[in-house]
Every structure is written in structure tokens, then in C-alpha cells.
Structure 1
Amino acid sequence: MDPFDDVVSAMSVASSLYVRFRFTAPWGVAFDTGYQARLVMIAEGVGWLLSEGEVPLPVAKGDCLIVKEGTRFALADRPDSALVDCVNLFADLPGFSEGTGFTTIPDRTVNYGGNGALMEMVSARLSFDPIAAEPLLALLPDLLHVRLAHGDLDLLETTLGLIGLESRADGLGADLVVERLTDVLFIQTIRAWVAADGTRAGGWLAALRHRSLAKVIRSVHADIARDWTVEEMARVAGVSRSTFAQNFRSVLGETPLSYVTRWRMYRAKTLMRKGAALAEVAVRVGYDSDTALSRAFRRVEGLAPGEWRRTLAAEANRPAL
């Protein structure tokens, strides 16, 4: 296991709305992710990505976007095209209401624009456990643009083709299958980004591209409860203690033992969120007692486990605005 497996398996990524857009020039659409992240893949044609404070960026077939919640962006056939709000594209479709939003979209396809060149893209709104997603989202920019290499493009196009087939067939369990395949598309996009530009990501994503550090990271995550020492991690890496400690801090920006502690707290939070007792959590993340875990948790998170649980419950019960 590595941190990516650790995080993605706990995130429970789900797609609440999968749509295929067919835009024909002239066109321009503004998007607001609101309270959900968004995954976008350009399936055909070319266009422009517009985001506040950034130079317009050309996009083409094979480009993917992962956009965090609360982020605004636009896509258009030209940088100066007039923009319409994405919500307006759904207003005349069956099943749409101001109160409930989107309920049904025929063939999961929305057409918009004039009589010019076509750009086709797919978009999925993503929801996931925010606590579980913290370590990954912290390393991602608000708007991640990935230009896929040939091999990655083949993989994503295959997944995209399966989503299209399921959408058109609309058989038993089609929505569930589309949701799972969107999860796969998300994982493939992140993986392609790390492979192409992982050093920009920093943190543990960058470490997974470092041969000796990757061995250590995977070993730690496979057995987080083990009584890890810097010497033992250096042996796994196959280098001296001093070289390992220097390399680790240079790439990850923290000491090896602080990394282990931080991920233990992450595992503890995901387990507590599922209702596990503190004594059980302590054993599973490498502490002799719930008291020892509580001390470490307070030191790292700034509050005791019980307070953290109560804060989480209060936020979950707070009415949406």
C-alpha cells in the first residue's frame, strides 16, 4: 500500500452528476463547482480554458481538469467569447427545477452553441469524504490541468468509452457502474499528472517518484502501527541514516518520524469518523493506549479526539445555507 491507495480508498469518491457536453462554435460556458469538485475531460476538438488571474490556456482532446470545490472557471471556443452560466444550459431540460437541481438528463448529453466546430467534453461532479481527502487535496492546485501522454490517453479513453456505453444502454445498475467508472477516471487522471509532473506536486506524491523514498513510504503505509525508527527506515531505503534523513526532509519537507505521526493521525481520524472506539484506534495506528494516542492527537491536531468528534458532529448537523 502507498499513500495514494490509502487516501483514495478512504475518500469514497462518488459521482453525483455525469454529463456529456457537445459545444459548437460560437460558445462559452462559465462553471462554478460550488460544494462539489468537478472532473472534466476533453473528448473531441479544441477550446480555451479561462480562469481568474490566469492567461487563457488552449485545451484539446485528451486534456483533463480536476477542479476543487468553490472554484470558478470557464471554457469557450475563443478567449473573448460571451459566456453563459452552466446552470442555464439545463433550465429547459426535463427534470430540472430551481429547488432540486438536476434529476434526469436525456442520454446524459447537453448540446449548446452555434453551427461551427465541435468540442465535446465529459464532466462529473465529485463528492467524497473531506476528512479522508485532506492529504491529497492539500497537494492539488484549485484547478489542475493535465495534458495526457499517449498511453494515459488510451487508458482514459477506454474508461470514457465504457461510461458512454453504460450511459446509452441504461441497463440495471447503470448509474452505479457509471459512478464507479468515474471514480476510476479520477484515479487515472491523478496518476497521469503524477507521472508527468509529480515533482510539482510536492510532499508524498513527489516522494513516490523517488526510488529509495518510495520503498520506505510504501513500507510505512503497509504497516503504520509498526514502531518505526529513522534507522529502520534508512535500512529499507538502502542508504545511510544521515543520507536518508536529508533526502526525506528535502523531498517531503518534514522529518521521517513527524511523517509517520501525521499519517497515524490521519488513519485515526478516518477510523474515528467511522465510529471506531478510541482504544481500538490506538492499537490500529501504533499506540499502546488510548491515552498515548490522545496525547499525540492533541499535539498534532490541536484538540483531543473527543473534542474532534464533537466538532465533526456539530458541523455535520449544521443546516446548509
Structure 2
Amino acid sequence: MAMDALTDLLDGPRARGAFMLRAMLDPPWSLRIEDEAPLCLTAVVKGTAWVVPDDGDALRLGPGDIAITRGPDHYTVADDRATPPQMVIHPGNRCTTLYGEPLAEKMALGVRSWGNSADGETVMLIGTYHMRGEITQRLLAALPPLLVLPADAWDNALVAFLGQEIVKDDPGQEAVLDRLLDLLLISSLRAWFNRPGANAPGWFKAHGDPVVGPALQLLHDDMAHPWTVASLAAKTGVSRAALAQRFGKLVGEPPMSYLTGLRLAQAADMLRETDSTLEAVARKVGYSNAFALSTAFKRVRGLSPQEYRERATA
């Protein structure tokens, strides 16, 4: 089965012991989020909430709305834009007052439930990916720091199902919640990318083009193939010049530049997430040997694959 660019991109989320919480809050409340997690999904079940980035416009969430925030930027979630922060969420999901006093036990309301009221006016389901290896760099790079999917933009029963499962403490529940979070994130992002007016990447907008769309699918389906502009043009039934011009206009960069970025992003994910040798990584993504991959990797990313792997591990 051929792989389109969006399928390739959304194949990345792999939650492993993700932080999952049902927050139940009565106003006034305000959470300062400084956990620097790579990605967090917040679904409002009841009431309203404001997401206030340090840079950018504040966005209001209502029942059924989903907000996806990309780290490591800090932001505030509150009942009102004017409510000053009362609590701080630190790395590792440690919650304190502004003065550092722990709040985890004080505000515990049952299994994966937390807040200042068991009958909170606002109820939110929160899922946080802790480790960058759980979310590919290609996906993170394709997303804005904050996006909101309105409730009327899709028809999906996953939020309600997650709300039922998040408070259970059955055997294997962590694995169930991890997979539900992955599925909800993928479904949300697919709906967001498909919305009219969404600030989607150029390659996504080009996916429906009769020439560039098939070219993108070929590249994602087999990035290790020794593609050239000429061979790609032959496969799509146009001239080399026509493909290069159309691809550059719609995607924003030449075909081979796009392919290089795709290969190096995949290589970076493999270096960070697996213990594969550099030679194996090189051949998997389309380079003849480790030296060729190292040369391209250092030219584009400014450090060698080994240095990148060591930093990612640290």
C-alpha cells in the first residue's frame, strides 16, 4: 500500500506511560504550564477554559474543543484570561503553588482525577507526551505552538470514551490509555490538517495536486529509492522542468531538497529512538553508506549523527 505524506507523518505518535489526567476545577483557577513536554492534548468535557501562550493570541475552549500545545514553550490555562496563575506544573508533572509548595496530594480527587472540586464547573481531559522519542521531530516541526480543533469541526466519540477509561484502574490500563491518546491525537491532527483555512504545511496543501501529489506519495512510499528529478518526473508523467517548477511552487522547496529533509528527519528519529548502527540507518533512509549520511547530516544539521545521538540520549 502506498504511503501518503500525512500517513507517514502521523505514523509517529507512540505514547509510553503518558501522563493522563482528568482535571475538575471551579473558578477562579489558573495553571501555569512549565513542564516543557514536547506535546500536550487538552480536551474540554464541560465548561470553558482559556489557553494563554506567552507569545501569541489567547484562545477560548468550550465543550468538545481540543487544544494541542507544542513544547517546550510555557503557557497558562485558566478560567479567564485575567486570572493570575495560582499553580505551576513543572517538568515531570510536579504541581506546586507559586511558592513551591506541593499540591499533588492536596488536590487529588481519585484515580487520575485532580482539581479543587469534585463537581468542577470545568472538566478537562489532559494527555501529555513526556519524551521526544514518542513524537517524531517531523510531526513537531509541522505543528504551530498552539492549535485548537473546535467541537463542530469533527464528529468523534473518542473524547467520551477516553473520559470513561481515564478513571479506571484495571490491569493493563496504562497501555489502553496510551493507545487511546495516540488515536485521539492522530484523529485530531488529521481533522485539523483537513480544515479549510488551516495553516497546514505546503506539502499537505500540495497533496491533492494531480502532479505533485503523486510525486510526494512516491517519495514517502520509498524514500530509500535513488530518486532523481528526472525519474520522479517520468513516474508522474510530466517533464523534469514542469515537475521542478510545480513542486517548488506548491511545496516551497525543490523535490530533491524535500527528499533530503525527509531522509534526514527519518534518520534523526532512528538515531534517537533505536540502537541501529549508522550504516543500517543510512541504508534505511537512502544513503549508500554511513559516510554519505554523516556528510549530509552534518551539512544540514550542523553536527554529526553520533553527536546528535549522544545529545538526544543525554
Q: Distance in 1 between matches of 2:118 and 2:173?
A: 32
Matched, 1:109 2:113: yes
Shift of 1:26: 3.5
Q: Do the aligned partners of residues 288 and 69 (structure 1) sit closer, same or farther apart at CA in structure 2, a change above 3 Å counting?
A: closer
The answer to whether the 8 A contact 1:10-1:270 is kept is no
Residue 50 of structure 2 is matched in structure 1 by 48
The answer to whether the 8 A contact 2:294-2:305 is kept is no
Superposition pairs of residues 164-179 of structure 1, within 5 angstroms: 164-179=163-178
**Larger fraction in helix:** 1
Matched, 1:67 2:64: no
Stretch deviating more after TM superposition (120-129 or 85-94): 85-94
CA deviation digits over 1:217-269, x for unaligned, max 9? Answer: 12211111112122333344454433322221122221101111222222333
Q: Do the aligned partners of residues 53 and 12 (structure 1) sit closer, same or farther apart at CA in structure 2, a change above 3 Å counting?
A: closer
Residue 299 of structure 2 is matched in structure 1 by 299
Superposition pairs of residues 8-87 of structure 1, within 5 angstroms: 8-14=10-16, 16-86=18-88, 87=95
Q: Distance in 2 between matches of 1:76 and 1:294?
A: 46
Identity of aligned residues (%): 27
Residue 309 of structure 1 is matched in structure 2 by 306
SS at match of 1:168: coil
CA deviation digits over 1:126-176, x for unaligned, max 9? Answer: 1343596222212222222222435x2x32xx2223323323332110111
Residue 101 of structure 1 is matched in structure 2 by none
The answer to whether the 8 A contact 2:21-2:166 is kept is no
The answer to whether the 8 A contact 2:192-2:198 is kept is no
Aligned residues: 302
Q: Distance in 2 between matches of 1:120 and 1:131?
A: 26
Q: Distance in 2 between matches of 1:160 and 1:85?
A: 26
Matched, 1:124 2:156: no
Residue 275 of structure 2 is matched in structure 1 by 275
Q: Distance in 1 between matches of 2:283 and 2:222?
A: 12
The answer to whether the 8 A contact 1:198-1:205 is kept is no
Shift of 1:19: 0.8
CA deviation digits over 1:101-139, x for unaligned, max 9? Answer: xxx862222233699x82221111113435962222122
Q: Do the aligned partners of residues 238 and 15 (structure 1) sit closer, same or farther apart at CA in structure 2, a change above 3 Å counting?
A: farther
SS at match of 1:13: coil
The answer to whether the 8 A contact 2:224-2:285 is kept is yes
Q: Do the aligned partners of residues 308 and 205 (structure 1) sit closer, same or farther apart at CA in structure 2, a change above 3 Å counting?
A: same
The normalised TM-score by structure 2 is 0.81
The answer to whether the 8 A contact 1:23-1:113 is kept is yes
Moved over 6 A (4+): none
Residue 150 of structure 2 is matched in structure 1 by 147
The answer to whether the 8 A contact 2:125-2:163 is kept is no
CA RMSD of aligned residues (A): 3.2
Q: Do the aligned partners of residues 47 and 276 (structure 1) sit closer, same or farther apart at CA in structure 2, a change above 3 Å counting?
A: closer
Q: Do the aligned partners of residues 211 and 189 (structure 1) sit closer, same or farther apart at CA in structure 2, a change above 3 Å counting?
A: farther
Residue 247 of structure 2 is matched in structure 1 by 248
Q: Do the aligned partners of residues 70 and 105 (structure 1) sit closer, same or farther apart at CA in structure 2, a change above 3 Å counting?
A: farther
Residue 100 of structure 1 is matched in structure 2 by none
Shift of 1:277: 2.7
CA deviation digits over 1:18-68, x for unaligned, max 9? Answer: 111122333333322324432111122223332334444322122221112
The answer to whether the 8 A contact 1:14-1:182 is kept is no
The normalised TM-score by structure 1 is 0.79
SS at match of 1:169: coil
The answer to whether the 8 A contact 1:124-1:182 is kept is yes
Q: Distance in 2 between matches of 1:108 and 1:132?
A: 23
Runs of 5+ unmatched residues, structure 2:
89-94
The answer to whether the 8 A contact 1:33-1:67 is kept is no
SS at match of 1:110: strand
Q: Distance in 2 between matches of 1:39 and 1:126?
A: 9
The answer to whether the 8 A contact 1:71-1:143 is kept is no
Q: Distance in 1 between matches of 2:8 and 2:131?
A: 14
Shift of 1:185: 1.3
